[in-house]
Structure 1
Amino acid sequence: MQATISAMASKNICTRCLRMAAVPAARPAARHAANRRTFASSAAVQSSKQRQIHHSARQSAAPGVDSLHQPANEAPPYSTPRGRTTDKQRDGSQVMLQPNNLFHSFSNSPSPAIRQRAAVMKQNAYCPHPEHQATRTPTSPNDLESRKTGSLPPAHVRYECPDCGIPVSCSEEHFADDYEAHLEICDQLREINEDDHDLVSGRFFPEFEYPAATMDEAQVNLTNWDTLMYSREFNAVNDERAMRQVTRLLTYPITVGSVLHELSPYNISKSGRLTSEGLRSMSALRYTLHPPRSGADITVKGLRPNPPPVRIFILGARAESSLPREVWLQLSHLFPRISFHLIFIGPESMANRDHEFPLPERTPSNPFGAIVEDRLGGQMKISTYVDYFHTLHEAQHFGPFDPYFDAVVCFHPGLGHPASSHEWQQTLPKLLDMKVPVICTGYTDFDMKRDIDWVKTQAGGEMDLLLEPGENRFRSLRWDLNDLDPGDVSCGNFGVWAFRGKRYEADNYRAKGEE
């Protein structure tokens, strides 16, 4: 009888409560300690009053991706395994580095991957001292290459800064002579050093356990990272480093969702940066993304026709196409009543996905060799095309396009970058013809301004700005290092803006004197 009552009770109790109830009564402290966590971001001071959060079962994601998103003509940084954490990692028996022992110079790192990365930097990166000759054309006013006016031949970096542990100069003399300029980024470089060692430390990463879909009545708060994670019932993150690690992956789906959601922080207020044309385009998408309740259910009487999925074209896809699928599922959880079709397009869209090679053969039913992943959570489908978008557009592979169901996203596209702008010259006219929103991100304000100026020049006035350029509220809180230039420090999706091909409204002609 007691077993029957327990079985009936277990149907009404969540998995987390059952696990907590299974803890022996002699250990009450251990039963309650698991819930005592606090939220904190890298910009906020941790509160002394801890909050207890009850959350349901979680979906675990990998602790990292093989390659993070880098600008054009930059090399990808370190690689980390994508496997699941094991029980040995959970109990700490395979931990290589402790939280208080994460700082090591790259050349003397206990991780072979980071030592190899240091060797690559010493073979390719050049000393930024002004006495050397320039090795390339500066790409921005803050580029250290613009200072080089000397006569000394270029020299590779050899000397590692004792404070950040990263090779930044060719010799100790040049390091000491240019120490004042290095101090501007030394703190960020040390933070990058410790974050990289944290990923290879072997610890268990509870911050990469993502929540499943919540009930429709639970509204999400898209003010900032803290409010989002609290309203979505993420595991409490009480460490700044863990916050940086988790936002490095989530910045991709959350950036898209924060722009398209009806509760978006980007609105037509003075600080919202959304233009009147942007409100028209976003309202069309939000009409589809937030449908009214139709009374549908699983019975025959409750059958209703389903609308087509919302298509999001991610052009120039690189590292975001190899993100764990649990990360992209967080986008569908923001819109629980509709389905998505993510389409990754670009010649590098299969980077770091070697386990899926060789690519599918091009057949009449699959003319462009698409890699299709469906049944992801029941609400998402992902297709990957290793080709240019203008090639697919000219073949009318995706047409027709609908502003109520389609949107384009470009993560760090480098539209105006000297090394990559030529690749977008044939694609931009196709984007303007589609008349759908194009959401773009950038590494810096200068990067976004350069892209906007290039689009305006190429479009010849046939474009509307939907979202004014500015800082992205859901940018990555973690800094990234360019291995080919140790002085180039940036963060993923720092800024966001949007545009669309100009739309012309037709009106009835009324002759002079007509009412």
Structure 2
Amino acid sequence: MALPADLAARSALSRVCSHCSVSFRRQAGARLPNGLFQASQRQQQQRSVHSKCPPPRAAVDNNVPKPAPTSVTKRFSSGFAFGSNAPAPTKTEKKRVLEADDLFHSFTNSPIPEIRKRAAFMRQYARCNHPDHQPHGNLAPAHVDFECPDCGIPVSCSKEHWADDYEKHLEICDTLRQINEDDHDLRSGRFFPEFEYAGPQIDEALINMTNWDTFLYTRSFLAIDDDRSMRQATRLLTYPVTIASVLHELSPYNLKSGGRLTAEGLKSFSALRYTLHPPKNGGGMDIKGLRVEAPPVRLFILGARAESSLPRDVWVQLAHVFPGSRIHLIFIGPESMTNRDNEFPLPPRTATNPFGAIVEDRVWPTMKISTIVDYYHTLHKTGHFYPYDPYFDCFVMFHPGLGHPASSHEWVETLPMLLETKAPIIVTGYTQEDMERDVAWVNKTAHGEFDMLLEPGENRFRSLRWDLNDLDPQDVSAGNWGVWAFRGKRYETTRKDSE
């Protein structure tokens, strides 16, 4: 009996390497059933994925370009499906605005309207950091107004203060110029081959997670030879790959010297790895090949903001890294629908969907994504996700701002509930200072009630692209710069024999 078209295609694709699958997709992409290979054109929408910062950085979100509508996605489908054989741009397609050698422009005089609006926002809210404006200085606070000619970003209230503090500004001037050019490149209208991601991983090819280069190579990504293209690619991939680098059986974080993994961490992550790397069970596509499957691994992304709006092809990379298991991503947080305005209004809260969750069920045959616009502690009290199992559950918090003065109060009620689950909690930070502040807050709030699983340190798969805080031009950070992990303490019971 002939197999259905979608099952036959999946069976064929599972037996070829990722290079061949990409070639097959380009040649016959138009004939593939929907859902097998979602076209990578969604990366072409050129979203500016704003860093998820704790307040007071939240105001910057208003200046981030919104995602392109669905019609734009459809326009680019043929171009991504057939690569070099893409048709000529139509009148409705976005034309190239800037060439590769014309990416540096001052924010105020930028040819990109979104960047000019960003400059106006900075002039209205960002403060000059000259010592004269500090509390011990002799001048009142003032907004930035003068743009450095070397980086093109408003950094001082006047040319005199910029020149007077020029030596300090030189420490980040080159980085600010790089941010300037990267932002213009993202909106230049060029074709982005770095956003065409690799497909399924064959069983015989092991993934090397030593660094970005080895990961992209062993995952059969298209070669990225340009530093700027690498920065643009890692800005999105850092979210799923950071999770994978901690949970994978070939994780670079181990018990060796400098590996940062603790003995308790080995216990917790070994449980998850047992589920994420199941042995072959001899299953097939016919009735005789049916086998009992384990429940999906649930990854709770708490305090979700920018990461919830990432193109789904980015998150599907997790399914390719763990092809033998099913994964359920659950984005939770009051701002988890940021940059997803085209999906409003939210579903009504009903008896079958009490929290109005948005469910994307067929992102990939082994991956499902749910989004809930609510606080985690509200869900925890209802027992909505109960029971929790260390073999199937893991919490992830990207830049949560646990120790930030403006956002730490939002986590006071949540932290004890997370520790109660005994499931691992992976946390990232923008900078070393941001990460250490979060660690100190957890130590102070739950002293003696948690075990460190992964010692704090720099993330091997941090974003290589730098981000600028529009409220403070001197504040430069990188997405997921640092990573660490902890969980609620497990108390071992001992039996004392009676004499």
Q: Give me the TM-score of the superposition, normalised by structure 2.
A: 0.87
Give the counterpart letter for 1:447 in structure 2. Answer: D
1:164–1:190 contact (8 Å) kept in structure 2: yes
1:173 paired to 2:160: yes
1:130 paired to 2:124: no
Give the counterpart letter for 1:122 in structure 2. Answer: R
**In the alignment, which residue of structure 1 is the partner of 2:82?**
none
- Partners in 1 of 2:39 and 2:245 — Cα distance? 22
1:329 paired to 2:316: yes
2:49–2:310 contact (8 Å) kept in structure 1: no
Residue 61 (structure 1) shift: 3.8
Determine which structure has more spread, i.e. the larger CA radius of gyration. Answer: 1
**In the alignment, which residue of structure 2 is the partner of 1:106?**
107
Residue aligned with 1:257, SS? helix
Cα distance 1:317–1:21, how it changes in 2: closer, same or farther (>3 A)? closer
**In the alignment, which residue of structure 1 is the partner of 2:427?**
440
Listed one character per residue, the Cα deviations across residues 280-332 of structure 1 (whole Å, up to 9, x for unaligned) are 00000001000111110112111101111000000000000000000000011
2:52–2:398 contact (8 Å) kept in structure 1: no
Residue 67 (structure 1) shift: 3.4
- Partners in 2 of 1:410 and 1:57 — Cα distance? 27
- Partners in 1 of 2:311 and 2:157 — Cα distance? 38
Structure 2, unaligned runs of 5 or more: 1-11, 29-36, 80-86
Alignment of 1:350-365 (within 5 A): 350-365=337-352
Residue aligned with 2:435, SS? helix
Listed one character per residue, the Cα deviations across residues 77-113 of structure 1 (whole Å, up to 9, x for unaligned) are 5326444446556999921111111000001101111
Aligned counterpart for 2:142 among listed residues 152, 155, 168: 155
Cα distance 1:230–1:88, how it changes in 2: closer, same or farther (>3 A)? same
Cα distance 1:461–1:127, how it changes in 2: closer, same or farther (>3 A)? same
Alignment of 1:22-101 (within 5 A): 59-63=40-44, 64-73=46-55, 74=57, 75-76=60-61, 78-79=64-65, 81-82=67-68, 83-84=72-73, 85=76, 87-88=87-88, 94-101=95-102
1:132–1:150 contact (8 Å) kept in structure 2: yes
1:392 paired to 2:341: no
Cα distance 1:465–1:197, how it changes in 2: closer, same or farther (>3 A)? same
Q: Decide which structure has greater helix share.
A: 2
2:332–2:373 contact (8 Å) kept in structure 1: yes
Residue 60 (structure 1) shift: 4.0
Cα distance 1:17–1:483, how it changes in 2: closer, same or farther (>3 A)? closer
Alignment of 1:86-485 (within 5 A): 87-88=87-88, 94-134=95-135, 149-485=136-472
- Partners in 1 of 2:66 and 2:301 — Cα distance? 24
Task: Calculate percent identity across the aligned residue pairs.
Answer: 62
- Partners in 1 of 2:215 and 2:366 — Cα distance? 21
Cα distance 1:421–1:17, how it changes in 2: closer, same or farther (>3 A)? closer
Residue aligned with 1:433, SS? helix
Residue aligned with 2:388, SS? coil
Listed one character per residue, the Cα deviations across residues 451-499 of structure 1 (whole Å, up to 9, x for unaligned) are 1111111113110000000000000000000111111100000000000
Residue aligned with 1:292, SS? coil
Cα distance 1:122–1:114, how it changes in 2: closer, same or farther (>3 A)? same
Indicate the larger mover: 62-71 or 213-222.
62-71
Give the counterpart letter for 2:234 in structure 1. Answer: T
Residue aligned with 1:490, SS? strand
**In the alignment, which residue of structure 1 is the partner of 2:6?**
none
- Partners in 2 of 1:377 and 1:18 — Cα distance? 18
Residue aligned with 2:368, SS? strand
2:394–2:424 contact (8 Å) kept in structure 1: yes
- Partners in 2 of 1:290 and 1:281 — Cα distance? 15
**In the alignment, which residue of structure 2 is the partner of 1:35?**
none
**In the alignment, which residue of structure 2 is the partner of 1:509?**
496
- Partners in 2 of 1:357 and 1:18 — Cα distance? 36
Indicate the larger mover: 107-116 or 62-71.
62-71
1:89–1:202 contact (8 Å) kept in structure 2: no
Residue 405 (structure 1) shift: 0.1
2:22–2:198 contact (8 Å) kept in structure 1: no
2:51–2:467 contact (8 Å) kept in structure 1: no
Cα distance 1:399–1:111, how it changes in 2: closer, same or farther (>3 A)? same
Give the counterpart letter for 2:379 in structure 1. Answer: L
Residue 70 (structure 1) shift: 3.0
Give the counterpart letter for 2:47 in structure 1. Answer: V
Residue aligned with 1:127, SS? coil
Listed one character per residue, the Cα deviations across residues 20-59 of structure 1 (whole Å, up to 9, x for unaligned) are 999xxxxxxxxxxxxxxxxxxxxxxxxxxxxxxxxx9974
1:15–1:57 contact (8 Å) kept in structure 2: no
- Partners in 1 of 2:244 and 2:197 — Cα distance? 16
Total equivalences in the alignment: 456
Residue aligned with 1:106, SS? coil
Cα distance 1:509–1:419, how it changes in 2: closer, same or farther (>3 A)? same
Cα distance 1:15–1:409, how it changes in 2: closer, same or farther (>3 A)? closer
